[in-house]
Each structure stands twice: as C-alpha cells, then as structure tokens.
C-alpha cells in the first residue's frame, strides 16, 4: 500500500509501529461488528498522520485550511494533530468524510461519533503491546459493547485528568454525558 510508504516517512519508527497496531486492532473490531474492515484498517493506519509534523508544517496546514488559530497554542500541543490529520486525509488523500471524522475525533471524542470513529478511538487506546490492567478491561468490553467500552475509557481519562487538576474537554464531557444517559 502506497500510503504506508508515505506514513513511514512522515512518522517516527515508534509512531509508525503504533499506527500499524492500531490499524490491526481497528480491523479486528470492524470484523467483530460487521463493519468494513478495509476502511477501519485505513482509518486506524492514518489516525496519527499529523502527529510528527514540524511546528512549521502544522502552522501551514492550520493557516491554509482555516483551522482554529488557537490550535497553535502550547496548551493544544497534543490536540492539533487530530484536526490537522483530518484535513490531510481529506485534502491530500481525498478520503471519505467518515474516515476524516474518525481522525478528527480520535483524541477528544465527540457526541456525533459513528461506529468507525468509535472503533478508531478505542483501537488507539487498546491496540498496544503490554496493556495495563484497566485497559485490558476496556479491551474486553470493546468486543462486547463498544459504547460501554468507550464510556469506561472516558471515565478513566476523566479520573486521570482530575488527579492532575485538569477538567475534561467540553467535547469529551458531552460524549460521556450522552453515553451515560443512553447506557
């Protein structure tokens, strides 16, 4: 696959490895939920495509595609790769909207997430070597009830951030509230 060669150049070796693992996990989840496996694999593969861009490259994407300027702020250092990645997927690779959205939502989540976005979000967390115990539980749940697994994962994030005195992002909060109401 041509895109793999490009990804290899754009990402650090460790990030490329991570991307392959996430793609595999996304494919497994897709097969479990009778979703398009190829599409899930591709979305998982490229979800972090913008993570190793230089500051300059990130700035160019943000300016050229009218992304929110605050993405350039230090506090959004880890957030911008999701927004920029979605733009790269759309503009450079002409991928479908649902793949772009899955990339966009893979860090914070969003209440409009569809099955593909949920698959990528969870595959990013559970498609790793040597999972800690709490993520093992999230992984087991991902193959039973994907929404329940997502809820567990977000609650875990909330707790972790709380300990650091950081509040959950409003998008994540909305998603968690929606899941709590529905489940």
| One of 124, 154, 172, 179 touching Fe ion (CB under 5 A) | 124
- Tell me how far CA of residue 167 lies from CA of 110, 160, 178, in angstroms: 16, 10, 17
Residue pair 43/103 in contact (Cβ under 8 Å)? The answer is: yes
| One of 42, 48, 115, 126 touching Fe ion (CB under 5 A) | 48
Burial environment of residue 105 by CB neighbours within 10 A (0 to 12, 13 to 18, 19 or more) = buried
Residues 6+ apart with CB under 8 A from 3: 42, 45, 46, 93
Residue pair 122/142 in contact (Cβ under 8 Å)? The answer is: yes
Smallest gap from Cβ 107 to Fe ion, in A, equals 6
Write the interaction track for Fe ion spanning residues 129-168; mark x where CB under 5 A is met and - where it is not: ----------------------------------------
Q: Which of 79, 48, 47, 46 is nearest to 62 (CA)?
A: 79
The window from 25-33, 92-100, 123-131, 152-160 that contacts Fe ion (CB under 5 A) reads 123-131
Smallest gap from Cβ 123 to Fe ion, in A, equals 9
Nearer Cβ to Fe ion (165/166): 166
The window from 47-55, 134-142, 151-159, 175-183 that contacts Fe ion (CB under 5 A) reads 47-55
Which parts of this chain interact with Fe ion (CB under 5 A)? 48, 124
């Amino acid at each position: 696959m041509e895109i793999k060669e490009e990804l290899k150049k754009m990402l650090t070796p460790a990030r490329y490895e991570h991307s392959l693992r996430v793609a595999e996990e996304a494919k497994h989840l897709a097969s479990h939920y009778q979703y398009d496996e190829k599409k899930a694999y591709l979305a998982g593969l490229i979800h972090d495509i913008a993570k190793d861009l230089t500051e300059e490259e990130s700035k160019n994407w943000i300016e050229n595609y009218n992304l929110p300027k605050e993405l350039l702020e230090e506090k959004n250092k880890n957030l911008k790769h999701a927004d920029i990645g979605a733009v790269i997927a759309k503009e450079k690779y002409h991928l479908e909207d649902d793949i772009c959205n899955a990339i966009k939502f893979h860090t914070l989540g969003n209440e409009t997430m569809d099955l593909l976005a949920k698959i990528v979000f969870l595959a990013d967390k559970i498609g790793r070597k040597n999972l800690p115990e709490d993520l093992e539980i999230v992984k087991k749940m991902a193959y039973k009830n994907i929404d329940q697994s997502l809820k567990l994962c977000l609650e875990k994030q909330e707790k972790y951030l709380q300990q650091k005195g950081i509040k959950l992002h409003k998008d994540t909060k909305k998603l968690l509230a929606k899941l709590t109401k529905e489940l």
